[in-house]
Amino acid sequence: MHSSIFNCSYLSIFCHLSLIFLMLGYEHWKGQVLTADELHVLYEGIKLNNVNQYDYVLTGYTRDDSFLDTVVDIVQELKRENPSLEYGVYNKAVTYYNVMYVPENLLPIYRDKVVPAADIIKVSVLLCWSKLKLLGLFQAMNLLHSMGPDTVVITSSDLPSPLGDQYLVALGSQKIGEFDFISTQSRWYSRSEWTSPGWMLCLWERDLFAAMLLAWTHLHPNDLKMACEKTVSVIHHVIKRTINYAKEVAGPNRKPSPAQLKLRMVQSKADIEDPAIVLNAVGL
């Protein structure tokens, strides 16, 4: 166990996104939430056109039980078509400071269907479990491994960092024979200077982290240390470039707007493809 642009045929992302503009700081949002039936119709169209051969599927937050059930059913069907398909599950958190983050009726589906079907799981925040300290996090990751996924990554926790309170501690675990754990500590941005803008950047960063982790674990399937180092380094470079741009456009002593804080993805192409490593992961 070790606990990462694409050289593969397809990448499919099924996301159940509602209130996305509201969550990202915009004042207004419009649109509709895709239902389970509509997702099924969409997938049937994909099958009819014979373009349902995927190497990877990455899913995000889902708030509806029937939609989540349908997503897993589709993933399982895709895996029957391609047994080597890897399913990545990205979720912000199941709990947040001991408060349920996802609807409680989804928990049995996550436990009984989503987690067993997943190959890699990325959880953005695990503040509830982190109160159990490092041993508790190890136990939590072991539990997830026992349910199916080979790779588990916790991208942030409230564990104290020896590097200071401006650093977030991420942990990862990958099941390759014997268990092995790694941790990374990264300074993505200064909390004191960028409390509000940083929060919005965090929301955008999570999707980028999930995509980069899937990409780098594909390129380094047996080296989670390298995959995590490259993933977090990409995040570091993109956020740094975004903050510098937002500060320049907003002007002195002015708070950047959500539009100004949109991640500078195109401008960061070189860093995304070949990031300069800004941290070293540590084996635990």
Domain count, the chain: 1
Instruction: Give pLDDT, residue 236.
Output: 87
Instruction: Give pLDDT, residue 63.
Output: 81
Q: Of 209 and 273, which is predicted with more confidence? A: 273
> Is residue 73 annotated as part of the catalytic site, yes or no?
no
Instruction: Give pLDDT, residue 26.
Output: 67
Here the CATH number for the domain that contains residue 149 is 3.40.1190.20
Show Cβ contacts of residue 267 under 8 Å, excluding neighbours closer than 6 positions.
241, 245
Q: Of 189 and 273, which is predicted with more confidence? A: 273
How far apart CA 143 and CA 3 sit, in angstroms, is: 14
Instruction: Give pLDDT, residue 261.
Output: 84
pLDDT tens sequence across 138-155: 788 888 899 999 999 887
Tokens of 240: 């740094």
pLDDT tens sequence across 3-48: 333 333 333 333 333 333 334 566 777 778 889 999 999 999 999 9
DSSP code, position 183: E
Instruction: Give pLDDT, residue 116.
Output: 95
pLDDT tens sequence across 159-217: 777 777 677 778 888 887 655 566 555 443 333 233 334 444 545 577 888 899 999 99
Q: Is residue 37 part of a domain?
A: yes
Q: Of 19 and 70, which is predicted with more confidence? A: 70
Range of the domain at 40: 11-283
Show Cβ contacts of residue 55 under 8 Å, excluding neighbours closer than 6 positions.
8, 9, 10, 11, 82, 84, 85, 86
How far apart CA 28 and CA 22 sit, in angstroms, is: 7
Q: Is residue 6 part of a domain?
A: no
Q: Is residue 3 part of a domain?
A: no
User: Is residue 57 very low, low, confident or very high in pLDDT (cuts 50, 70, 90)?
Assistant: very high
Instruction: Give pLDDT, residue 2.
Output: 37
Q: Of 238 and 156, which is predicted with more confidence? A: 238
**Percentage, residues of the chain above pLDDT 90:** 34
Q: Is residue 4 part of a domain?
A: no
Instruction: Give pLDDT, residue 123.
Output: 80
**Residue 158: pLDDT over 90:** no
Please give the mean pLDDT across all residues of the chain: 76
Instruction: Give pLDDT, residue 141.
Output: 84
- φ, ψ of residue 10 to 5 degrees: the values are -140, 150
The answer to pTM > 0.85 is no
Q: Is residue 245 part of a domain?
A: yes
Q: Is residue 1 part of a domain?
A: no
Let me know: does 75 contact 109? Beta carbons within 8 Å. no
Q: Determine the average pLDDT of the residues in 122-138.
A: 63
Q: Is residue 2 part of a domain?
A: no
Q: Of 62 and 72, which is predicted with more confidence? A: 72
How far apart CA 77 and CA 45 sit, in angstroms, is: 15
pLDDT tens sequence across 98-119: 556 677 888 899 999 999 999 9
Identified catalytic residue from 64, 207, 223, 274 = 207
**Residue 126: pLDDT over 70:** no
